[in-house]
Structure 1
Amino acid sequence: MTTRFSIAEKLDRLFQRIRPAGQGEYSHSAVAEAIREQQGISISHTYIWQLRTGRRDNPTIQHLTALATFFGVPVAYFLDDEQARKIDSELELLVALRDTGVTEIALRAADLSPGSRETISNMILKVWELENGMKQAD
């Protein structure tokens, strides 16, 4: 049997995984304010907290869409558990990349010339080959 996830669980995972660079998770107030300013949707920080904690569990599609837009996921994340699982897997990868500094390396490399990016790519490949060769030899 497939596990079903509540809106509260899904919203909590978004708060935990999607955050400003180098900071902790967004506050409920910051999310509500951003949704009001950027999307023109009326939503309170208390309501977001109630949804996240499961005290409210039947939001309007407008509020789900606004939350999904803020966190950069499709609204299907809240409506379809299979989509939620897929997106959660992708978010886990992004969290791992963020936590290991890979995104910082990629962002810095984006400003380099194509030749310099190729050189860095070759260096990374050589380091990978050395480390994987050492692991296989162990």
Structure 2
Amino acid sequence: MTDGPGAPTLAERIEQLFRTVRRPSGAPYSNEEVARSCREAAGERFSTTYMWQLRTGRRDNPTKRHLEALARFFQVPPAYFFDDEQSSRIAEELAVLEALRDTGVREVALRAVTLSPEGLGTISDMIEAIARREADARRGG
């Protein structure tokens, strides 16, 4: 792992996958489901407890095969676990997927598809202005 200063830990990266990559029904995967799939893919031991330990940071040095099995299960490149730059890019894409689960966000995104570049710029400016106003209100200003 090449975690630089401020880079997410392996546990944080795995946890983000669990939060974001879901079943078609929207329900999260369990440690047991992921461990079973990884056990089958890696051809090695991969217990539910081991999955929990990786998610919580109690274990942080999995084998290459284990990380490849996790990557295959969550459909991300194995570099997600090794390369800070790729991990960051993939994390941004995962954040978009997570946001799109929110019905309101999804409705706005679907409506924005038909807008011109100028219209998108206007909407973006409005969202930024509202976000600043709400952040100021949360700070009590």
Structure 1 length-normalised TM: 0.68
Query: Larger relative contact order (C-alpha < 8 A, sep ≥ 6)?
Result: 2
Q: Name which of 40, 43, 47 aligns with 1:41.
A: 43
Establish whether residue 99 from structure 1 lines up as the match of residue 102 from structure 2: yes
Where in structure 2 are there 5+ consecutive unaligned residues? Answer: 127-141
Identity %: 46
CA distance in 1, matches of 2:24, 2:9: 27
Number of aligned residues? 112
Give the structure with the higher percent helix. Answer: 1
RMSD after superposition: 2.9
Where in structure 1 are there 5+ consecutive unaligned residues? Answer: 107-120
Q: Deviations over 1:8-31 (max 9, x none)?
A: 110011001111123332110011
Larger radius of gyration: 1
4+ runs deviating over 3 angstroms? 98-102
Structure 2 length-normalised TM: 0.67
Q: Deviations over 1:79-134 (max 9, x none)?
A: 111111100001112223343385xxx9xxxxxxxxxxxxxx9xx62xx57xx59x
Contact kept? 1:41, 1:66, Cα under 8 Å:
no
